[in-house]
Amino acid sequence: NAGVTQTPKFQVLKTGQSMTLQCAQDMNHNSMYWYRQDPGMGLRLIYYSASEGTTDKGEVPNGYNVSRLNKREFSLRLESAAPSQTSVYFCASSEDLGLAAYEQYFGPGTRLTVT
Amino acid sequence: GENVEQHPSTLSVQEGDSAVIKCTYSDSASNYFPWYKQELGKGPQLIIDIRSNVGEKKDQRIAVTLNKTAKHFSLHITETQPEDSAVYFCAASKRPSFGNEKLTFGTGTRLTIIP
């Protein structure tokens, strides 16, 4: 199992350009998440998807859109990149097993720089 | 919404000594508290978690304690080793949740083990 995979690993954009970050998981999880990680601010939730066909905003959704393409794939799109979106982006997935167990599995991250 | 504060932001300890990282949360309804470890260049990985119906949980050299009255929880690492050097994140959420699980993360602690 590859777990959670993200592409690309690194990306440099100019202000105003657009791009899509790809995420896929092979663990048959229902829930998927996009976070951004900035120095001194921890991990902040951008968007999440509880199941195929549903998406909801997290803490910092402005400037982003998402698509839950199918159960495996959850993409994050920046329509018009801004320097404030320079960050490391992590995708995660999870399966809620009620009270028994719970874990979010994270991908390796995409380091995005907007100049 | 939930707010999680984490201290210290950086911590250096001699190899073999103990390390303690503390977190406080604001929402008294939160009942699930995981800790994630992030090694350089990788995504966070769950190392231990605790639910609000227990006060302490141990897994080899790692333990977590929870004080529901004071709304704080701590990570304890004993007999530290060089491979414990990483960034550690605490988080809080309400479980069970219906449809999705949202974690609120602390801002992270960079732990350095000095040989």
Compute the average pLDDT of residues A76-97: 92
For B41, the token pair is 């260049």
Q: Is A89 on the interface with B (CB under 8 A)?
A: no
- Mean pLDDT, chain B, rounded, equals 92
A41 vs B contacts (CB less than 8 Å): 107
- For residue range A14-54, what is the model confidence (pLDDT) as tens digits? 999 999 999 999 999 888 999 999 988 889 999 999 888 88
Report how far residue B39's alpha carbon sits from residue B113's, in angstroms, rounded to the nearest whole number.
Answer: 13
Angle at B35 between CA B38 and CA A46, to 5 degrees: 70
Report how far residue B23's alpha carbon sits from residue B92's, in angstroms, rounded to the nearest whole number.
Answer: 10
Contact (Cβ atoms closer than 8 angstroms) between residue A92 and residue A106? yes
Predicted confidence (pLDDT) at residue B96 exceeds the cutoff of 90: no
3-class secondary structure, B82:
helix
How many beta carbons lie within 10 A of that of residue B87, not counting itself?
A: 19
Q: Which residue has the higher pLDDT, A90 or B94?
A: A90
CB-CB under 8 Å, A58 with B102: yes
Q: Would you place residue A111 in the very low, low, confident or very high pLDDT band (cuts 50, 70, 90)? A: very high
Report how far residue A89's alpha carbon sits from residue A104's, in angstroms, rounded to the nearest whole number.
Answer: 15
A51 vs B contacts (CB less than 8 Å): 99
* Residue with tokens 């719970």, as numbered in its chain: A102
Contact (Cβ atoms closer than 8 angstroms) between residue B48 and residue B57? yes
B101 vs A contacts (CB less than 8 Å): 31, 94, 96, 102, 104
Nearest partner of A43 among B89, B5, B39, B3, judged by Cα:
B89
